[in-house]
Homo-oligomer: A and B are copies of this chain.
Amino acid sequence: MTPKDATATRERILDSAADLFNQRGYWGTSLSDLLAATGLEKGGLYHHFGSKEALALEAFDHAVDRLRVRIRESLAPHREAVPRLHAAIDNYVAFVERPPVAGGCPLLNTAVESDDTHPALRERAAAAMTELVDDTFGRILTRGVERGELAADLDVEGTAALFVAAIEGGIMLSKLYGDNDYMRRTARRLHDLADSLATAGTAGTRTRRRSSR
């Protein structure tokens, strides 16, 4: 196998493992499930990844990479805070409609499963969640305040926490009911909230967003 083939094989294994762990959870995924999904022999899995745990950690990072690509692409066309918030919300509606990984949000799933049971997975989930709370929503809000697009006294920490909590909870509701409308309803009110944050000078973003859909 050339190095390029080896990388492609590894990617394919991580794709399958990410979907499987995200659907069944770490504790609900047996070694035989993993071998069946990845097409590996037992020896091959241990050779390439070392252990079920090591594969689970790498598969989680792989799933988060897929999400990161999506959110960056969603945000890239927009400069101002309010349109960036709308784009981020829409990104998660698209998430339930065209899931980048099977089984719902890997941050949510891994957070809920690992918090009392698996410190290494929990640490990965927390790092990925911090990226979403602080580096994505927190930064959009902070820059929006600095540029005068959002109110100077905006509760940035509370608002970032609310956006992420509601998005993750909305994905959970849609997955639970098998009905994407729960995420759409949640998103509708988050769009309203995003509009309400705009200072007077940028309040026209609402009309622009609505008419662009």
Measured CB to CB, the residues of A under 8 A from B are 23-28, 102-104, 108-109, 111-113, 115-117, 122, 125-126, 129, 133, 155, 157-162, 164-170, 172-173, 175-177, 182, 185-186, 188-190, 192-193, 196
Contacts and interface: CB of A to CB of B under 8 A. Distances in A.
Given A25-B25, A112-B108, A126 B177 contact: yes
A158 B185 contact: yes
A27 B112 CA distance: 13
Contact of A23 (B28, B117, B162, B175): B117
Nearest to A111: B176
A76 B173 CA distance: 27
A2 B185 CA distance: 51
A158 B111 contact: no
Main secondary structure of the interface of A (DSSP, over half): helix
A10 to B, nearest CB: 25
Contact of A185 (B103, B116, B157): B157
A104 B172 CA distance: 15
Q: Which of A117, A176, A185 has the most C-beta atoms of chain B within 10 angstroms of its own C-beta?
A: A176
Nearest to A159: B189
A71 to B, nearest CB: 17
Given A27-B25, A155-B188, A170 B165 contact: yes
Contacts of A157: 185
Given A23-B117, A25-B27, A117-B25, A172 B176 contact: no
A190 B182 CA distance: 18
A15 to B, nearest CB: 17
Contacts of A167: 165, 169
